[in-house]
Chain A
Amino acid sequence: MYQTIQIGAHTLAQGTFIRSFGDGRIEIDAGHERLSGRPVTTFRGAISKALAGGYLRGGLLATVAAIGLALGGPAPAVAQESVEILNVSYDPTREFYREYNELFNAWWTAQGNAPVTVQQSHGGAGAQARAVIDGLEATVVTLALSADIDQIAERTGKIPADWQSRLPHNSAPYTSTIVFLVRDGNPKGIEDWDDLVTGDVQVITPNPKTSGGARWNFLAAWGYAQQNGLDPAEFVGELYKNVPVLDTGARGSTTTFTQRGVGDVLLAWENEAFLALASLGEDAFDIVVPSVSILAEPPVTLVDGNITSDAQRAAAEAYLEHLYSPEAQALALKHFYRAWDTSEAAPEDVARFPEVNMVTVEDFGGWPKVQPEYFGEGGVFDQIYQE
Chain B
Amino acid sequence: MRAGILRSPSPLPGFGLSFGIMMTVLSIVVLLPIAALLGRGLMIGPADLWDMLNSRRIWSALTLSFRAALIASLFNLVFGLMLAWVLVRYRFWGRRFIDAAVDLPFALPTAVAGIALTALYAPNGVFGQALAPLGLQVAYTEVGIWVALVFIGLPFVVRTVQPVIEELEPDLEEVSATLGARRIYTLRRVILPTLTPALLTGFALALARSVGEYGSVIFIAGNIPNLTEIAPLLIVIRLEEYNYDAAAAIGIAMLVISFAMLLAINAIQVWSRRRIGNV
Query: A256 → chain B, closest Cβ, in Å?
Result: 8
Q: Report the nearest A residue to B141, measured CB to CB.
A: A244
Within 8 Å CB of A151, what residues of B? Answer: 242
- As a 0/1 sequence over residues 17 to 41 of chain A, the CB contacts with chain B under 8 angstroms (1 = contact) are 0000000000001111000000000
A201 in the interface (beta carbon within 8 A):
no
- Give the interface size bracket for B toward A: 20 to 34
Within 8 Å CB of A54, what residues of B? Answer: none
| Interface residue from A2, A133, A247, A376 paired with B223 (Cβ < 8 Å) | A247
- As a 0/1 sequence over residues 210 to 236 of chain B, the CB contacts with chain A under 8 angstroms (1 = contact) are 000000001000111110010001001
Q: Count of A residues near B, CB < 8 Å?
A: 37
Q: A31-B2, A209-B237, A377-B243 are in contact. Are A245 and B123 (CB under 8 A)?
A: no
A122 in the interface (beta carbon within 8 A):
no
Q: Are B224 and A245 in contact (CB under 8 A)?
A: yes
Q: Are A245 and B140 in contact (CB under 8 A)?
A: yes
A115 in the interface (beta carbon within 8 A):
no
Q: Are B56 and A386 in contact (CB under 8 A)?
A: yes
Q: Are B119 and A259 in contact (CB under 8 A)?
A: yes
Within 8 Å CB of A247, what residues of B? Answer: 223
Segment at the A interface, from B3-11, B27-35, B64-72: B3-11
Q: Are A260 and B118 in contact (CB under 8 A)?
A: yes
Q: Are A377 and B226 in contact (CB under 8 A)?
A: no
Q: Are B246 and A29 in contact (CB under 8 A)?
A: no
B192 in the interface (beta carbon within 8 A):
no
Q: Are A262 and B123 in contact (CB under 8 A)?
A: yes
A12 in the interface (beta carbon within 8 A):
yes
- Bound Cα distance A262, B56 (Å): 27
Q: Are A209 and B240 in contact (CB under 8 A)?
A: yes
Q: Are B242 and A133 in contact (CB under 8 A)?
A: yes
Q: Are A376 and B241 in contact (CB under 8 A)?
A: yes
Q: Are B1 and A126 in contact (CB under 8 A)?
A: no
Within 8 Å CB of A55, what residues of B? Answer: none
Query: B231 → chain A, closest Cβ, in Å?
Result: 15
- Bound Cα distance A17, B15 (Å): 35
- Bound Cα distance A382, B52 (Å): 14
Chain A positions 226-251 with a Cβ under 8 Å from a chain B Cβ: 243-248
Q: Are A385 and B2 in contact (CB under 8 A)?
A: no
B54 in the interface (beta carbon within 8 A):
no
B105 in the interface (beta carbon within 8 A):
no
| Interface residue from A14, A126, A261 paired with B124 (Cβ < 8 Å) | A261
| Interface residue from B1, B218, B243 paired with A15 (Cβ < 8 Å) | B1
- Bound Cα distance A226, B239 (Å): 31
- Bound Cα distance A386, B60 (Å): 11
Within 8 Å CB of B225, what residues of A? Answer: 246, 385
Within 8 Å CB of A127, what residues of B? Answer: 236, 240
Within 8 Å CB of A209, what residues of B? Answer: 237, 240-241
- Bound Cα distance A35, B208 (Å): 43
Q: Are A386 and B57 in contact (CB under 8 A)?
A: yes
Q: Are A248 and B218 in contact (CB under 8 A)?
A: yes
Query: A214 → chain B, closest Cβ, in Å?
Result: 12
Question: Apart from A382-B57, A385-B226, what 11 extra A-B contacts exist at CB < 8 Å?
Answer: A16-B1, A29-B1, A30-B3, A32-B4, A207-B223, A244-B222, A245-B224, A261-B122, A377-B243, A377-B246, A386-B56
Q: List 8 A-B contacts (CB under 8 A).
A: A11-B6, A130-B240, A209-B237, A245-B223, A262-B122, A377-B238, A377-B241, A386-B55
Residues in chain B within 8 A of chain A (CB atoms): 1-6, 55-57, 118-119, 122-125, 139-140, 218, 222-226, 229, 233, 236-243, 246
Residues in chain A within 8 A of chain B (CB atoms): 2, 11-16, 29-32, 124, 126-127, 130, 133, 151, 155, 207, 209-210, 243-248, 259-262, 375-377, 382, 385-386
